[in-house]
Amino acid sequence: MIASAFEYHKPDTVDGVVSLLSKWGDDARVIAGGHSLIPVMKQRMTDISHLIDLGGIAELKGISIDGDKINIGAMTTQHELIASEALAKAAPLIREASLQIADPQVRYLGTIGGNVANGDPANDMPGLMQTLDATYYLTGPGGSREVKARDFYEAAYFTAREDEEILTAISFAKPSGGFAYEKQKRKIGDYATAAAGVMITIEGGKCKAASVALTNLSDTPVYCAAAVDALVGSSLDDATIKTAVKAAVDASDPVADTRGPVDFKKHVAGVIVKKAITSAVARA
Amino acid sequence: MNESTPPKEERMAALSGLGTSRKRVEDARFTQGKGNYVDDMKMPGMLFGDFVRSPYAHARIKSINTEAALALPGVHAVLTAADLEPLGLHWMPTLAGDKQMVLADGKVLFQGQEVAYVVADDRYIADDGIQAVVVEYEELPVLVDPFKAELDDAPVLREDIADQSEGAHGPRRHPNHIFTWESGDRAATEAVLSEAEVVAEEMIYYHRTHPCPLETCGCVASMDKVNGKLTVWGTFQAPHAVRTVASLISGIAEHNIRIVSPDIGGGFGNKVGVYPGYICAIVASIVTGVPVKWVEDRMDNLMATAFARDYWMHGKISATKEGKITGLWCHTTADHGAFDACADPTKFPAGFMNICTGSYDIPTAYLAVDGIYTNKAPGGVAYRCSFRVTEAAYFIERMIEVLAIKLGMDAADLRVKNFIQKDQFPYQSALGWEYDSGDYHTAWSKALAAVDYEGLRAEQAERLAAFNRGETRKLIGIGLSHFTEIVGAGPVKNCDILGLGMFDSCEIRIHPTGSAIARLGTISQGQGHATTFAQILASEIGIPAEDITLEEGDTDTAPYGLGTYGSRSTPVAGAATAMAGRKIRAKAQMIAAYLLEVHDNDVEWDVDRFVVKGAPERFKTMKEIAFASYSQAIPGVEPGLEAVSYYDPPNMTYPFGAYICVMEIDTDTGTTEIRQFYALDDCGTRINPMIIEGQVHGGLTEALAIALGQEIAYDEQGNVTTGTLMDFFIPTAWETPNYQTDFTETPSPHHPIGAKGVGESPNVGGVPAFSNAVHDAFKSFGLTQSHMPHDHWRIWKIANSLGLHD
Ligand SMILES: Cc1cc2nc3c(=O)[nH]c(=O)nc-3n(C[C@H](O)[C@H](O)[C@H](O)COP(=O)(O)OP(=O)(O)OC[C@H]3O[C@@H](n4cnc5c(N)ncnc54)[C@H](O)[C@@H]3O)c2cc1C
């Protein structure tokens, strides 16, 4: 349980990171909070010769709320997300979800950037970003570009990010309406058995807009378009919610692991999605 | 009493003796990070050794190439079985009369088995060295199911003893069979069963789990080539036994071996056995001439050092229609893994599993246990329990529930009907034990009243009705448990480990100014010995507990003892402490009488002094007596004030308790919530109520973990699937419920102060309480038995298979 030797770099600009990544290619990896990366290194499941610490780059940190747009720097920790009163007011869903990640010790170090860039389907924030329809900002040797969170995840640990790129920030429109992030886990510090993020806007007794996404129920986070279609325009009656829940469960594709077999996970997914929708509707 | 003598109560309070909730003296250093654990040790020139471990559960080793590892700068040596063989150390004896490979000798038998030992400048380089060792394996068929061990096509695991039809515990009927151990009267029990009005039968599985102490196992071995002395600091629950074993297997004279257990961060049975890591560190220190450290990481610990439980207990229990139990039959298939490395007294290969008649007056009983080899890690230690007692308690407390279902009786009533009566003690059990004392009916009524048992049952029925009407998805389970333990091993006439009698010891020295040091043969791993044993002494010799230093764990200074596990410290070493104190007092009486110029019999003990009978104003305090013993020539009395006692207990002690768990269960998600947990413990005389409460809280939390999720699981290929703390359940404060503790006090008649031991009761009694609550919730839907651990998906599975999901 000890990582192999590596060179440690701590540049103070994004350009500095990109040039190191370009130079060392596959042998290099950026480290943010290290709470996903270091365990993997310690088990020697990955061999990294050059570790580039993003901790020295001021521009990667911070939360800004600009009118309707919320921007969060990649190196903002989960603890900082929870602690920000402004963010809690503008997008309370973030605090609700962040409080369900790991434990305070992990959250002091774990970052939003690391959580969404990691590509692990067990992470909660990728699913959350599907719910929020967030945009990721990437910078690489060829400059900067934007990728929608809903287009970012390809398979477990495979994302639209190129090896020489880093994620600098995420942004999303200030959400409105009701929201909920529901998660079932075995204990504090565990990843989800099943989790779901939901947003619902109601106007004139009808669902005007909705968003439904799942965590750890497939090899990528799942945005449930069919569930959203079922909800939008409806009066959110029991039958509609039932249809939406079924659509979400149909969109899931969990694998058996120590948390349980597939039929169990699908069943729990249904319960969790229903809880999240019901609670979002109640808050809308 | 003269005016200067404070009242008796005041003097007693000043001692902080028996019955005082004295704060733990250990905590000042532990809570400030000032403990001194093995891994804190740094010595000049010290090297670090670590293992190449097998990725396979069963494979032949075709070759081991260490060249690349040896070529790494900072790697000093790589040991393999071939290097240990000339020393006769490639195998080592186990505590259960078997032998175990120190390093893989031709084959590996479980995932994580030690294959080679890399010795390097530090643990980082050692790990690089491990990666550089190339081992060529040829995979063999894997045996993980003990019920398939004796099939025709079963692979033979232990080729080294394949043709031995006789093992350490009698005949072996198959190469994968270790022993059959029987207790009780088979013919009589089977006759009772065949004629019984009612028989309930069930397979009760107590799954494989692991003690997982916060601090893993480790040691620092240092061979001083100048004076020929070997010192080993290690996480040893039995340092003296380790010294003797080390001497016997290494040939180093016992006086040239010093074993030291420094602070230990929890043991729970995991640190009783002898591990390859110790042997390899010792050999490496002898080879290199410098100290060598070995410390497991968490995954090593969960995968390779001693597991607990893994008992398949097939039970039959018979009764009259009215619910009077007439007989109990049990056949256990015990999965021991690749080597029989259980830590049990020699004559008890299945520990004290034959306490499985529990708290009940069962006239006829029979138990057989078959030990089986599988491709899993060796162990089978007593995880916070006396040897296999938690298995026994779980078995009987499940069988009682199963019988209650069959009889259509309330399980609390069934228990009352069958408890051993107070006036039956000392009670001879059908399986051969003599229970020292108990008052089960009183404890049980107190427990039922405390939780309002009738009210709970009414609420449960209402909930069930609401569930059936579709108004809720949650059920209530009420888990009952009345356990009887057997602890304090044990009488030398039938208890030994590797031939060493299981007595224990205490040596006391009173200093001239009236303070003292006491040394014991046990070793605390968090139990608070320095606090409680000083309290026993304070009451015995009238010196305040805070003036008594307590030392354990250094074989060069402490008297010989068999260590701490199986709740034996208080019953055995605690008794030795009281007896040594009484020797001190006897000598003090002579000195006092001399100083007071009266006959020995004319003085009497009064809390902290001897007073002249009938003349209370004439006295000598212990402090004065201590000084006199060093300063005066007293005719016929040796100078100084010291005593040592080696205590061979006449019997075990039998703590008991009544636990009730009230659980909410979500049938859709399989999640559980403990709404109430009531724990009444009777551990005889209570030395320190606060420590008892702490022990109960800790043990119950382990029980919760075991019952609700903690397991060492293997897949078909013998891979451990729960090898990290992400999957191996250790509850945090968040998952830990509030506990309501209570007590009755039934002293042990044979223990000098009546104490029975408590550290393990909550684990033993807690597991059935939690598990019975889960079963109870689903009882009305037809559930009789579902194996632990009751994690979310398994509870969901119960609901699902009972048709509770539409
Ligand atoms: C005990 C424990 C429990 C946990 N429980 C949960 C949980 O319940 N839910 C959950 O969501 N997470 C959980 N985590 C993971 C935790 O939230 C991590 O902190 C998070 O997944 C990764 O963030 P990090 O900053 O630590 O990233 P790191 O570990 O430093 O990096 C993770 C990966 O992302 C890459 N990376 C990091 N930052 C960037 C960037 N800006 N641009 C490009 N690539 C980048 C790294 O190269 C690496 O491959 C848990 C972790 C632990 C140790």
* CATH tag, B8-35+504-647: 3.30.365.10
Give kind and range of the element (H or E) at residue B621: strand B615-621
Residue of A nearest to B299 (CA): A1
* Contact across the interface for B732 and A103, Cβ inside 8 Å: yes
Separation between Cα atoms, residue B108 and residue B543, nearest integer Å: 56
Kindly indicate the confidence band of residue B3, based on its pLDDT and cuts at 50, 70 and 90.
low
The whole-angstrom distance between residue B659's C-alpha and the CA centroid of its chain comes to 20
Comparing CA positions, the residue from B64, B49, B48, B149 lying closest to residue B106 is B64
Is B219 a known active-site residue? no
**What pLDDT is attached to residue A260?**
98
Checking if the pLDDT of B614 tops 50, the result is yes
- How far is B790 from B738, CA to CA, in rounded Å? 20
Q: Does the beta carbon of A166 lie inside 6 Å of ligand 1?
A: yes
Contact residues on chain B for A1, CB-CB shorter than 8 A = 127, 297-299
Q: Where are the domains of chain B?
A: 8-35+504-647, 38-140+216-264+272-304, 307-489+652-801
Q: Is B786 on the interface with A (CB under 8 A)?
A: no
Q: Catalytic site residue B197? A: no
Q: Does B729 sit within 8 Å of A187, measured CB to CB? A: yes
pTM metric for this prediction: 0.97
Q: Which residue is closest to A102 within chain B, CA to CA? A: B726
Q: What is the complex's ipTM, to 2 decimals?
A: 0.96
- CA–centroid distance, B562 to ligand 1, in Å, is 47
CA A116 – ligand 1 centroid, Å: 8
Per-residue pLDDT, B249:
85
Q: What is the DSSP string of B99-121?
A: EEESS-SSEE-STT-EEEEEEES
Q: Which of B729, B796, B800 sits opposite A186 (nearest CB)?
A: B729
Give A-chain residues touching B128 at CB under 8 angstroms.
Answer: 4-5
Residue B124 touches chain A, beta carbons under 8 Å: yes
Chain B residues touching residue A100 (CB < 8 angstroms) = none
Q: How much is the pLDDT for B712?
A: 98
pLDDT tens, residue by residue, B206-262: 999 999 999 999 999 999 999 999 999 999 999 999 999 899 888 999 999 999 999
Structure tokens at A196: 């779901």
Flag whether residue B793 sits within 8 Å of chain A, measured between CB atoms: yes
> Longest C-alpha distance within chain B, in Å?
91
Binding site membership of A102 for ligand 1 (Cβ less than 6 Å)? yes
Same fold, B8-35+504-647 and B38-140+216-264+272-304: no
Task: Give the pLDDT confidence of B273-325 residue by residue, as tens digits.
Answer: 899 999 999 999 999 999 999 999 999 999 999 999 999 999 999 999 999 99
Q: What percent of chain B has pLDDT over 90?
A: 98
Q: On the CB side of B55, how many CA atoms lie within 13 Å of its CA?
A: 8
When CB atoms are compared, the residue of A5, A188, A261 closest to B793 is A261
Q: Is the dihedral of CA B412, B414, B419, B421 positive or negative?
A: positive
Cβ–Cβ contacts within 10 Å for residue B732, how many?
A: 11
Please give the torsion angle defined by the CA atoms of residues A204, A205, A209 and A211, in that order, rounded to the nearest 10 degrees.
Answer: 160
Task: Identify all chain A residues contacting B793, using CB atoms and an 8 Å cutoff.
Answer: 193, 259-261, 264
pLDDT at B2 over 80: no
For residue B702, give the nearest of B660, B676, B682, B731 by alpha carbon: B731
Cα dihedral across residues B146, B150, B151, B152: positive or negative: positive
Bridge partners for A203 per DSSP? A206
B70-108 b/e with 16+ CB inside 10 Å = b? Answer: eebeebbbbbbbebbeeeebbbbbbbbbbbbbbbbbebb
- Give me the domains of chain A, ranges plus CATH numbers: 7-55 (3.30.43.10), 58-173 (3.30.465.10), 178-283 (3.30.390.50)
The answer to whether B620 touches B595, Cβ cutoff 8 Å, is yes
Mutation target vs A (from B710, B796, B800; most A CBs, 10 A cutoff): B796
Is the domain spanning B38-140+216-264+272-304 CATH 3.90.1170.50? The answer is yes
Residues in B closer than 8 angstroms to A49, CB to CB, are none
Listed residue (B573, B548, B485, B520) closest to B764, CA to CA: B485
- State residue B1's pLDDT score: 45
Does the structural domain B307-489+652-801 have CATH classification 3.30.365.10?
yes
Q: How far is CA B144 from CA B42, B102, B109, B325, B335, in A?
A: 41, 22, 11, 36, 9
**Average pLDDT estimate for A221-238:** 98
Told to judge if B237 belongs to the known catalytic residues of this protein, a careful annotator would answer yes
d(CA B794, CA B806): 18
Arithmetic mean of pLDDT over chain B: 97
Q: Which of B482 and B4 is assigned the larger pLDDT?
A: B482
Q: What are the distances in angstroms from CA A138 to CA A77, A125, A148, B478, B566?
A: 18, 17, 11, 56, 60
Q: pLDDT tens across B407-444, in order? A: 999 999 999 999 999 999 999 999 999 999 999 999 99
B384 as an active site residue: the answer is yes
Report the chain B residue with the minimal C-alpha distance to residue A272: B669
Predicted pLDDT at B456: 98
Give the mean model confidence (pLDDT) for residues A185-197: 97
pLDDT higher than threshold 80 for residue B656 = yes
User: Mind listing the pLDDT tens digit for each residue in A34-62?
Assistant: 999 999 999 988 889 999 999 999 999 99
Regarding the beta carbon of A41 and ligand 1, being less than 6 Å apart is answered: no
Compute the distance from residue A85 Cα to the ligand 1 centre, in Å: 23
- Calculate mean pLDDT across residues B608-634: 97
Quick one: CA torsion of B560, B565, B568, B569, rounded to 10 degrees? Answer: 60
> Chains A and B: how many Cβ contacts under 8 Å?
67
Atom of ligand 1 nearest to the CA of A37: 29
Amino acid identity for residue B255 in this structure: H
In B659-688, the residues whose Cβ lies within 8 Å of chain A are: 668-671
The string of DSSP letters for B604-620 reads: EE-SSEEEETTEEEEEE
Secondary structure of residue B191 in the 3-state scheme: helix
Contact state of A5 with B727 under an 8 Å Cβ cutoff? no
* Max CA separation in chain A (angstroms): 62
Look at ligand 1, atom 19, and give the residue with the nearest C-alpha: A110
Q: Which residue from B406, B485, B488 is spatially nearest to B658, judged by alpha carbons?
A: B485
**Mean local confidence (pLDDT), B571-578:** 96
Residue A1: per-residue pLDDT: 81
* Chain A residues with beta carbon closer than 8 angstroms to that of B727: 258
Q: Is B474 an interface residue toward A (CB < 8 Å)?
A: no
Burial of B412: CB neighbours in 10 Å, binned 0-12, 13-18, 19+? buried
Q: Is the CB of A260 under 6 A from ligand 1?
A: no
